Amino acid sequence: MPDNPLQFRARVRHQPDRSYAVLVEGPDGEVLVGTTGSLREVRSVARQGAARLLGVPADQTAKIHLDVVIPQPPYGRDGQWVRIVSADESTVAESVDLGRAGQAHWFGHEGAWFVTVAGSGTAIYPSEHLDFAPVLTNEEVDELRRYLARSAQPPS
- CB neighbours (10 Å) of residue 80? 17
pTM for the structure as a whole: 0.82
Residues 81 and 144: beta-carbon distance below 8 Å: yes
| Domain around 61 | 7-69
**Radius of gyration for the alpha carbons in the chain, expressed in angstroms and rounded:** 19
Are 45 and 22 spatial neighbours (Cβ–Cβ below 8 Å)? yes
Kind of pairing between the strands at 101-107 and 81-84 = antiparallel
The pLDDT tens digits for 74-112 are 999 999 999 999 877 655 544 558 899 999 999 998 999
Query: pLDDT tens digits for 139-150?
Result: 999 999 999 898
Domain co-membership, 44 together with 104: no
Say how many CA atoms lie within 13 Å of 121 toward its Cβ: 5
**Domain boundary residue, one of 69, 93, 115:** 69
